[in-house]
A = this chain, B = another copy of it.
Amino acid sequence: MDDTTKKAVTQRLASAAGHIKGIERMVNDDVYCIDIIQQIQAVQAALAKVNTLMLDNHLHTCVTSAIRGDDPDERERMLQEITQVFEVTGKK
């Protein structure tokens, strides 16, 4: 991962973890359920954004190298991984 992406990703992950700790406190403080569910949905959206950043970087680095490279198995593996990640994302 390039340094810019790595920094963006770790910051967003740290922020998501902090957000979840805040939601734990909301649960313990008996905050209204729907408000808590909406906060969890916000974390889910933030994690989806992290995945998009990482996929974008992955396509520009590993996948591009593999497609230009001489190893057809490696190339095929890379493309299958993209399809699998896409398939799971459609089920999130």
Contact residues of A with B, CB < 8 Å? 1, 6, 9-10, 13-14, 16-17, 20-21, 23-24, 27-28, 30, 32-34, 36-38, 40-41, 43-45, 47-48, 50-52, 54-60, 62-64, 67-68, 75, 79-83, 85-92
Contact = CB atoms under 8 A, between A and B. Distances in A.
B89 A33 contact: no
B47 A40 contact: yes
Interface of A is mostly: helix
Contacts of A82: 55, 59, 82
A87 B19 CA distance: 22
13 contacts: A6-B27, A6-B28, A10-B28, A13-B20, A14-B24, A32-B62, A37-B58, A41-B85, A47-B47, A51-B86, A52-B87, A63-B67, A92-B92
